[in-house]
């Protein structure tokens, strides 16, 4: 069992929602928050402390990078947020500079834990953190398509009036416009979705679900300016899987070294997540079309990664 010390870097809408979610769900024993806006951090610490009488007790504090030496997991949500009409890839240049500085600060303080990246474009920044930190690939992970997979399950559950916990499947590829659902491995109550959905509706429904999931962030950002509850919940669950050694399955951005025929790229694929971070990459037997979608998505990420290396 880990000591369950969490350091959060980035106290914006996502970071503060994540800290609150960890507090109310009992994830972690200690949460230290780092942000360039120290006054905001102190305000959040005081605000979060007011909730302690109603939740599991933990230490919440304004941290600095020296505290990373005691952390089991560092969660990075810092960076410029996506604006209405903007793609995640358009954030790359600004956020790469921010994430480079953060990674150097973390590693300068004898950090020996797991880094979970949520800043966008998350796949490219995960690969950047991996290369800058020198940590093994099992200890540098991106939230990847974990949120997109949750959106997939939610949309299927809503559309067919089924408990989302009975829906299983994955979104793979970039956390972005080249992502795709893996319909061959999507089930409802154990039954393949292609058998569950009436044949007359199948093609239209699958296309509609795929589009809904892919464009969900754009819709939310257009309406309220940012997405944060869904990704905060995803990050909380991923953190719990590490701290509790759950060995649970998620779609996450991880560095591939031959899996799916891909190299030198971090991209969203199914994994088992546990105390040491990446416990195993789950290699699905993709059909030819999906294998090409994944390879094409990887090429997009590689081309953009090269622009910041």
| Catalytic residue ranges | 175
- The one-character DSSP state at 261 is G
With 0-12 / 13-18 / 19 or more C-beta atoms within 10 angstroms meaning exposed / middle / buried, residue 194 is middle
- C-alpha to C-alpha distance for 71 and 281, rounded to whole angstroms: 25
Q: Which residues pair with 251 in a beta bridge?
A: 270
Give the span between the Cα atoms of 193 and 166, in whole angstroms.
12
- Beta-carbon contacts of 78 under 8 Å, excluding residues fewer than 6 positions away, are 9, 10, 12, 15, 35, 98, 99, 102, 119
Cα dihedral 17, 47, 45, 83 sign: positive
Tokens of residue 193, six digits: 């979705």
Integer angstrom CA distances of residue 1 from 184, 250, 288: 36, 21, 42
Helix, strand, coil abundance in the chain, percent, nearest 5: 50, 20, 30
Alpha-carbon distance of 308 to 96, in angstroms, equals 7
Question: How far is 252 from 61, CA to CA, in rounded Å?
Answer: 28
Question: What would you measure as the largest C-alpha separation in the chain, in angstroms?
Answer: 60
* Residue 115 in tokens: 């880094």
Alpha helices in 81-226 (DSSP H): 92-107, 122-133, 146-160, 193-196, 202-214, 216-224
């Amino acid at each position: 069992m880990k000591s369950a010390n969490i350091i959060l870097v980035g106290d914006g809408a996502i970071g503060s929602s994540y800290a609150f979610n960890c507090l109310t769900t009992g994830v972690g024993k200690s949460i230290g928050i780092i942000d360039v806006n120290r006054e905001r951090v102190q305000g959040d610490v005081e605000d979060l402390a007011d909730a302690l009488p109603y939740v599991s007790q933990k230490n919440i504090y304004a941290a600095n990078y020296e505290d990373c030496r005691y952390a089991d997991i560092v969660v990075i949500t810092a960076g410029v947020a996506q604006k209405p009409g903007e793609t995640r890839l358009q954030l790359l240049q600004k956020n790469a500079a921010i994430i480079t500085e953060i990674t150097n600060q973390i590693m300068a303080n004898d950090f020996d834990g797991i880094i979970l990246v949520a800043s966008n474009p998350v796949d490219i920044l995960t690969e950047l953190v991996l290369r800058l930190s020198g940590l093994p690939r099992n200890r540098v992970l991106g939230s990847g398509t974990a949120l997109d997979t949750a959106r997939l399950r939610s949309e299927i559950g809503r559309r067919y009036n089924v408990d989302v916990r009975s829906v299983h499947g994955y979104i793979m590829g970039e956390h972005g416009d080249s992502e795709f659902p893996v319909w061959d491995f999507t089930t409802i109550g154990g039954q393949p979705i292609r058998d569950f959905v009436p044949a007359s509706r199948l093609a239209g429904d699958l296309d509609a679900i795929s589009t809904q999931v892919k464009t969900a962030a754009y819709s939310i950002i257009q309406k309220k300016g940012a997405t944060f509850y869904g990704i905060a919940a995803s990050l909380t669950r991923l953190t719990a899987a590490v701290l509790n050694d759950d060995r649970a399955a998620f779609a996450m951005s991880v560095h591939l070294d031959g899996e799916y025929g891909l190299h030198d790229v971090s991209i969203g694929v199914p994994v088992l997540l546990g105390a040491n971070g990446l416990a195993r990459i789950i290699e699905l037997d993709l059909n030819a079309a999906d294998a090409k979608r994944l390879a094409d998505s990887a090429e997009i990420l590689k081309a953009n990664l090269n622009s910041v290396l």
